[in-house]
Amino acid sequence: MESMNFEQIVSNTVALQGRPFEMRVCPDQYLGGLTKIIGNTQFPTRESVINRPSSPCLIMILESPHVDEFVDNPGPAKGFTGEMIRKYLPNALGRPVQEGMGLVLLNAVQYQCSLGSNTVVYRDRIFRAAWTQGGEENFLSRLQSVIIPGDLIMNCCTKGNDFEINTPLRSLVEWAIRQSAPHISTIRRMHPASWRNEAWRDKVWQYREPKMGHTIVAKC
């Protein structure tokens, strides 16, 4: 699996003047069966994706972990995002929940790109730097290792705050998936944190192809 030097990427991208930042990785996890997740106050389980079942799963992709994800043991969607997933996933899917289907959560970049600050401050710059310095290849390698026939991919990455001048973050992730696995049709939905607004739950966001392509290392 491709690796990257997140500490070096951060130091080369922004000036923190010695302020410490989170260096732990937020692992990809299997959260349990959808029928047990929906409407629950907590996810039934948090296990490594290595332990995912052989039955089909919904693989939900978020862009990067924020603050709640690093409380105690790191894990994706531990705060408000997880609450919205448990409450509104059927509305966002727009289709009946398949019996026996589980939920896998992957962050496109497993490190805290926000550096613990408001997401408008660092997240987009750090995500883009990480994505071009090993992050994309790392993500595709992880996706390749977990996906099996019958899985659904739901791209719920945010577009970022600088989408008017740069390719939206979610489109970078979508482009990578399409180039490496053209046979896979993704479900494109808004970030779960926005699902508090009913109008955003089943909204399909518009894909914007990056102006310049780049080499894909991993193949799904």
What pLDDT digit, counting tens, does each position of 62-108 carry? 999 999 999 999 999 999 999 999 999 999 998 888 889 999 999 99
pLDDT band at 215 (very low <50, low <70, confident <90, very high): very low
Q: Is the pLDDT of residue 217 over 60?
A: no
**pLDDT digit string, tens, across residues 152-177:** 999 999 999 999 999 999 999 999 99
Alpha-carbon distances of 130 from 126, 137, 179, rounded to whole Å: 6, 10, 19
Distance CA 182, CA 178 (A): 5
Query: Which range, of 66-75, 92-101, 124-133, 198-207, averages the lowest pLDDT?
Result: 92-101
Of the chain, the end-to-end C-alpha distance in Å amounts to 13
**Cα–chain center distance at 162:** 18
Is 70 exceeded by the pLDDT of residue 194? yes
Predicted confidence at residue 212, as pLDDT, reads: 62
pLDDT of 180 over the 90 cut = no
pLDDT at 147: 94
Q: Quick one: which H or E segment has residue 102?
A: strand 102-107
30 Cβ partners below 8 Å, 6+ apart? 45, 46, 47, 48, 49, 51, 52, 53, 57, 102, 103, 104
Which pTM was predicted? Answer: 0.93
Is residue 22's pLDDT more than 50? yes
Which pLDDT belongs to residue 2? 59
Instruction: Give the pLDDT band of residue 219 (cuts 50, 70, 90).
Output: very low
Q: What is the mean pLDDT of residues 34-54?
A: 96
Of the chain, the percentage scoring pLDDT greater than 90 comes to 85
User: Residue holding tokens 């609450």?
Assistant: 83
